Structure 1
C-alpha cells in the first residue's frame, strides 16, 4: 500500500509540474502604463479589440491602492498588494514596509522567482520603458533584461527580436505610454486617445512577431495596465483611475468572453502561475482568473 501511495504521489507531482493549460508553452505579459479602461469606447485600437474577440476580457479589473505605478507593477508580478509586498509609492525602489516574506534573491516572491525555481531551464525576459520597473524584479532570475529609458518603440523592437530569436517561456514587456501623455497633456482627451492608438500599433507588431516565430498557437498573451487617470494625475480613488483593461487570448482561453468575476491586478501573477502549473506561496493573495479559461 505504501508503495502504491508513493507511486501515486510521484505521478501527481509530475502532473502538476506540467503546464496547467493544455497547449500553452509561452506567456507574454504586455503592460501599458497609465492605460485606463474607460477609454475603450473612444479609441481606435483594432488589435486590442481583436484580442478581446479571440479571448476573454474585462474592462473592470482594478488596481490596488494607491493607484500609481510601482505599487501596481509590483502587485502585478508579486501576486499580492502593498500591505504584504511593501512597495507603497509611485516610484518605490525598495519596500517602504518590510516585505512579509523574502525569496532567495532578497525580494518579495514574484512570478519570476517561481518560474526560475520550479522550471529552472525557463527562458525569462523583462523589457521595459520606465526605469522604475528595474527595481521590481530579481535580475539574477532573468535571462534577458533591457531598460529602454522611456522609448516604447525601442522596447517593442527589442521584444520583437527577443520573441523571434529566443521564443521565451515568459516575457514581460512594459510600455511607458499612454502614461506620459496622461501626465503631460491629460487623460480622457483626444491626444490621449491618439496615443492609445499608437500603443495599439506597437501591440500589433508584437502580435505579429509571435506569429512569425511560429508561437501563435501555443502562446498566451495577456494585456493589462497599472492604473488609469484623471486630468494629469493618478493615485486617486475614482474608477477612471482604478479600472484597467485585462485581456487574455491563446490556447485554452474562451473566445469573445466578458469576464464577470472580480479581477484585481495581483490576480495576473496568480493566473500566469496557474497557466504554468506552478505552486504559489502562501503569502500571495492573488487568485487565477479561471473564468477566462475553457
Structure 2
C-alpha cells in the first residue's frame, strides 16, 4: 500500500469551479474534501511546508520565510516518524528548498529537477513520480507541483494564465493517479492561495486551500464539516500509514473522513 501527499503550490480552492480539472474532480468524488481548509501565518511556501510535515505553526518551528534555518525547537516530522516505523519514503519536487524538510538519511529516494518555472515542468515531475511509484511501491511519497504558484506570481492569481496552468497541472495529477493501485491512498492539497501577484497575508484569498483525501476506508463524495488546517495533514497521513503521530504535533487527525 502506498500513501501519496500531492501538493499543488498556490492553488486557490475557488479556482477549481472556474477550470476544467477532471482529475481533481474525480479525486473529490472518490473521497472526502474541504474547500475551506486553512493555511498558516505567514502563508508562504517554506513555512507552510514545515508546518505540513511537522504539524506545528511557524511560531513554533521558527521558519518564517523561504530561506531555511534550523528549527527553533526541533521535533520529528512525518517522514521521521515513518522512518522510525520502518516505512520507505520518496520525494519528488521542483523547488529546491524543500530538500530541508527532513533530517538527513530519512528518505529512500529523492528526485529534484528545477522545472517549476517551465509551464510543462510539473508534468516532468509527475512522469518520474508515476514511474518510480509504480515500479518501487514506496510506503509514502510526497509529490510537489510548483508551476501554479509561479503562474500566480507572474500573471496574478485568478488570471487566465493562472487558471490555464491549473488545467495543465491537472494532467499531472492524472498521471500520478493512474500509477496507483486500488489499495493506495492520496491526500491532495495546497499550501496557500494568493491574491494579485503575491501571498503571505491573512486575507482569505491567501489562507484558504483545498484539502482532498481518497482511498480505502475513506468516505466517498463527502464534504468535510469540521475545520481543517495544514497542521492536520501529518496526523491524518500518519493514520493512513498506520504509524504513530508524534505527541508534540499540534494538529489532529481528521477522523470524520474515515468510514470507521
Q: Is the 8 Å Cα contact of residues 10 and 193 (structure 2) preserved in structure 1?
A: yes
Which of 96, 121, 131 does residue 131 from structure 1 map onto? 96
Q: CA deviation at 1:92?
A: 2.9
Q: Which runs of 4+ in 1 moved over 4 A?
A: none
Partner of 1:116: 83
Question: What is the correspondence of 1:271-282 to structure 2 with a 5 Å cutoff?
Answer: 271-282=236-247
Once residues 246 and 175 of structure 2 are traced to their aligned partners in structure 1, the CA distance between those partners, rounded to angstroms, is: 35
- Size of the aligned set, in residue pairs, is 254
Indicate the residue corresponding to 1:77 in structure 2.
53
1:142 positional shift? 0.3
The equivalent of 1:160 in structure 2 is 130
Instruction: Provide the TM-score with structure 1 as the length reference.
Output: 0.84
Matched, 1:94 2:82: no
Counterpart CA distance in 2 for 1:259 and 1:278 is 23
After TM superposition, the structure 1 = structure 2 runs for residues 1-294 of structure 1, keeping only pairs within 5 Å, are 25-89=1-65, 91-95=66-70, 98-99=72-73, 102=74, 108-118=75-85, 120=86, 122-149=87-114, 150=116, 151-210=121-180, 215=181, 217-294=182-259
Let me know the Cα RMSD of the aligned residues.
Answer: 1.2
Q: 3-state SS of the aligned residue for 1:140?
A: coil
Cα deviations by residue, 1:47-70 (Å, 9 ceiling, x for unpaired): 101111110000000001011100
**Could you say which structure has the larger radius of gyration?**
1
Secondary structure of residue in 2 paired with 1:93: coil
| CA pair 84-202 structure 1, distance change in 2 beyond 3 A | same
Report how far residue 185 of structure 1 moved: 0.6
Q: How big is the shift at 1:153?
A: 2.3
Give the 3-state SS of the residue equivalent to 2:105 in structure 1.
helix
* CA contact 1:77–1:110 (8 Å) conserved in 2: yes
Which runs of no fewer than 5 residues in structure 2 stay unpaired?
none
Report the CA distance between 1:158 and its aligned residue.
1.2
- Secondary structure in structure 2 of the residue aligned to 1:172: strand
TM-score normalised over the length of structure 2: 0.94
